[in-house]
Amino acid sequence: MKSQLSKLDIKSLGRVGVLLGGRSGEREISLMSGNGVLEALLSKGVDAHAFDPGLRCPTELAKEKFDRVFISLHGRYGEDGTIQGLLDLLNLPYTGSGVLASALAIDKIATKQIWLSNGLSTPEFEELTADSDWNAVVKKLGLPLIVKPAHEGSSLGLTKVKSVDELPTAYGLAAGLDKKVIAETCIVGDELTCPLVGQGNTAEALPVIKIIPPQANYDFHHKYFSNETQYLCPTGLAPEVNERVQALALAAYRALGCRTWGRADVMLDQKTGKPYLLEMNTSPGMTSHSLVPMAAKAARVSYADLVLWLLNQTMQHKEGATA
């Protein structure tokens, strides 16, 4: 990263828009991420400006005369391919994955189907409806199991179900946020995450982070606001385990056709030592508690340098609507 940045002409980046806020349930976190990114870019001398598509019509982007944009939106309407499609139509280079990869990655069911078709390990799952046979779901997936919306992030609407009687309530909570709801086998073990950068064969995995939340509850509060959650980087796991997780995360990233950056969440089964993919984030958080900056720091890349490197990748992405 640093070698690329040493040759970068800041003025060549032109007028930069930082997309933040938006309309999803993760608006609050997006504002935190976007303001951090904006501050970092300004500190590097970039002509950067905030643009909130939650407060302004996204079509007003054309009036801003941006040369490129940094997407700091999380969740729907920012991480699902919709804003990416608009930016492609405007011929505006942007950070992160294209329309197809973004749309696939935000859909946890589609993501799992692609991973399974590529022989990658992910917990067994089933799509739930109001008419689902709860006993059959438990028989298939076992207990405990996880119920969550198929298109939300940041653990919004997620429930750890410990008995069949809890399933209807868990489904109702998730269905209140999304029309598609997924249940998956709960893998008990170490909670890990692995950030990824680059594209295709040149993509690489950053250091793995081990997450230790209070009472093993890594919910919205413990992800973004609590100081009780512990993050270990290095993880303290055996080197071969870290390498196995990185290889799995990298394969998952490539299978979805992601580019620029992403973050794979992984569970390490405490009984078998086998890693299982949970989901792929294509517009990861950049807050003070976020994990990609943490891994970059472990790789001796500062927050501001990481942001600048990610923005610099847009110099290669003026090819229109791609993955």
Active site residues: 26, 154, 224, 263, 265, 279, 281, 285
Distance CA 307, CA 318 (A): 19
Q: Which residue has tokens 């970059």? A: 296
Distance CA 303, CA 262 (A): 15
Which helix (H) or strand (E) element contains residue 231?
strand 230-232
Sort 87 into a burial class: Cβ within 10 Å, 0-12 / 13-18 / 19+.
buried
The answer to whether 305 and 4 are in contact (CB under 8 A) is: no
DSSP symbols for 238-277: -HHHHHHHHHHHHHHHHHHT--SEEEEEEEEETTT--EEE
Rg (CA), the chain: 19
Residue 255 tokens read as: 């299978």
Sort 305 into a burial class: Cβ within 10 Å, 0-12 / 13-18 / 19+.
middle
